[in-house]
Amino acid sequence: MTRQYFGTDGVRGPYGGPVINEMFLARLGMAAVRWLRTGAQPGNLRVVIGRDTRLSGSALEAALAAGLRRDGAAPVSLGTVPAPAVARAVLTEQAALGAMITASHNPATDNGIKFFDTQGMKLSDRDEARLEQLLPADPPSSSSSSPLPTVDALGPYIAAVQSLLPAGALRGWRIALDTAHGATCATSPVVLRGLGAEVIGLGDAPDGSNINAGVGSEHPEKLARQVCAAGARLGVAHDGDGDRCVLCDEGGGVLDGDEILTILATHALARGALRQKTLVVTVQSNLGVDAAVQAAGGRVVRTPVGDRYVSERMRAEGAALGGESSGHVIYADISSAGDGLVAALKVIEVMLATGRPLSELRRVLRKFPQITADLRVREKRPLEELAGLRAAVAALEAEIGPRGRVLVRWSGTEPKLRLLVENEDAGAARTGVERLLNAARRELAGG
């Protein structure tokens, strides 16, 4: 089933644009109620709503709630919380649906929404397509103006995550923490300090318009400098809604999701604790992950790009660990959703158990050279229609053979063509990407 509005991680776009506006959110709220009434528990219409720190979040929350109330749902506001706290609240509040109003790592001018089902899982492609089918033509003509009832999701979330490590486990640790002026400003520093760490904060003064602005997981450069300047044990960076984690070692070296996942998987394999001996990643992850995990006695399973596809495959495989190179890490035994703070604490747990610094632990992954590029376009044409690009891909794949791979896909959240070439020879990978870019530009001229 095709989807018009939903991408790889919910609906996202410029606030006030043709999609992300109060009218659309109200219509989406009405569609959500219609969808819930056809589900396994049609009588449960309780919906929990969280948001990040964007100025537009409150207005969009009110519009969503108006649509939900119009068709009989009972929305509850969680306030400003990380996305994994919303997923958790769906379970603890026995809600039928969770909604997180966020554009994740996008700039403050954007906003969006992602949904969680009764199990705290992202909605499937099928469910999102069904929601779109149920969208009414018009928003509610009238709605209640009374304030939404609220529930404290922060306190229980902080307590649950802090319990992952023993009390005082981080006494004597200095940690640089970049919360991207986003939803983790009120959670991650509290947890780390509660465990005894000295926290050097970055991106911790949200004003509604500075989320992700030169900080966070998409911009770890400042964090790396701060780690070195402060003599910190490590650095932790989140994105705007807190479901991603990027780390810096004590020398300022940046670790992405592939390195985090490989550290966690190989450590678990060594202890016989990786369920099904399986790590689930996406097609975006480096081939070095497969080599490292296989050498440790495990296996790697790959999915399309998107943490919900990772989560779905984890459930099918009976696996407990999976994620993306972007820094989404899912620990199914702890959270149904990606959680950047949980990922950081689990890596710290490995550091505590081994007594080894992050700069040593990261050596378990030897990455294959990987070159990526993006091409912004006006229109996302089906890739099968781009004959010239497909021919360029086929020729490059024939040249690379088993020494690497080629990946071409449309971004699920932005009007961009994503290109990736991986090869044992970095120069050949770089040349390959340029060839694909040139082929794409020729076919998408004017895009």
DSSP structure string for 168-210: TTTTT-EEEEE-TTSGGGGTHHHHHHHTT-EEEEES----SS-
Structure tokens belonging to residue 21 = 């506006």
Rounded to the nearest 10 degrees, the angle between the axes of helix 340-354 and helix 83-92 is: 100
Domain shared by 46 and 142, yes or no: yes
Average pLDDT over residues 387-414: 88
Residue 433 CA to residue 444 CA, distance in Å, equals 16
Task: Give 243's DSSP letter.
Answer: -
The whole-number pLDDT of residue 68 equals 96
- Return the H-helix or E-strand segment holding 388: helix 387-400
- Residue at a domain's end among 215, 231, 254: 254
The whole-number pLDDT of residue 319 equals 98
Domain shared by 86 and 19, yes or no: yes
Q: Give the confidence band of 144 by pLDDT, cuts at 50, 70, 90.
A: low
CA atoms within 13 Å, Cβ hemisphere of 439: 20
Q: Is the pLDDT of residue 174 over 90?
A: yes
Average pLDDT over residues 344-356: 98
The whole-number pLDDT of residue 445 equals 67
Domain shared by 144 and 217, yes or no: no
Contact 15, 109 (CB under 8 A): yes
Q: Catalytic: 104?
A: yes
Residue tagged active-site, from 104, 217, 311, 336: 104
The whole-number pLDDT of residue 145 equals 66
Q: Is the pLDDT of residue 140 over 60?
A: yes
- Return the H-helix or E-strand segment holding 159: helix 154-162
On whether residue 163 sits in a domain, the answer given is: no
Domain shared by 316 and 390, yes or no: no
CA distances from 315 to 22, 115, 282, 403 (A): 35, 18, 15, 31
Q: Is the pLDDT of residue 146 over 90?
A: no
Domain shared by 82 and 185, yes or no: no
Q: Give the confidence band of 353 by pLDDT, cuts at 50, 70, 90.
A: very high
Average pLDDT over residues 185-213: 98
Q: Is the pLDDT of residue 447 over 50?
A: no
The whole-number pLDDT of residue 408 equals 93
On whether residue 1 sits in a domain, the answer given is: no
Residue 325 CA to residue 257 CA, distance in Å, equals 4
Domain shared by 298 and 424, yes or no: no
Strands (E) across 215-319 are located at 234-237, 246-248, 254-255, 278-282, 299-303
Task: Give 380's DSSP letter.
Answer: -
72-86, 212-226, 243-257, 430-444, range with the lowest pLDDT: 430-444
Domain shared by 224 and 285, yes or no: no
Structure tokens belonging to residue 68 = 């939900």
Domain shared by 147 and 225, yes or no: no
- Residue at a domain's end among 124, 152, 180: 152
123-132, 201-210, 303-312, 407-416, range with the lowest pLDDT: 407-416
Residue 32 CA to residue 49 CA, distance in Å, equals 13
Q: What's the chain's average pLDDT?
A: 94
| CATH number of the domain residue 93 falls in | 3.40.120.10
Interacting residues of 193 by C-beta distance below 8 A, sequence separation 6+: 199
Name the phi and psi angles at 107, rounded to 5.
Answer: -70, 170
Task: Give the strands of the sheet with 416-423, arranged side by side.
Answer: 370-376, 416-423, 404-410
On whether residue 263 sits in a domain, the answer given is: yes
| CATH number of the domain residue 388 falls in | 3.30.310.50
On whether residue 275 sits in a domain, the answer given is: yes
Nearest residue to 191 via CA among 354, 358, 348, 296: 348
Domain shared by 304 and 261, yes or no: yes
Domain shared by 138 and 179, yes or no: no
Domain shared by 330 and 379, yes or no: no
On whether residue 5 sits in a domain, the answer given is: no
Q: Which domain holds residue 402?
A: 370-443
The whole-number pLDDT of residue 404 equals 86
Count of the separate structural domains present in the chain: 4
- Residue at a domain's end among 105, 120, 152: 152
Domain shared by 232 and 276, yes or no: no
On whether residue 161 sits in a domain, the answer given is: no
Average pLDDT over residues 328-354: 96
pLDDT in tens, 228-251: 999 999 999 999 999 999 999 999
On whether residue 97 sits in a domain, the answer given is: yes
On whether residue 166 sits in a domain, the answer given is: no
Q: Is the pLDDT of residue 330 over 80?
A: yes
Q: Give the confidence band of 142 by pLDDT, cuts at 50, 70, 90.
A: low
The whole-number pLDDT of residue 8 equals 82
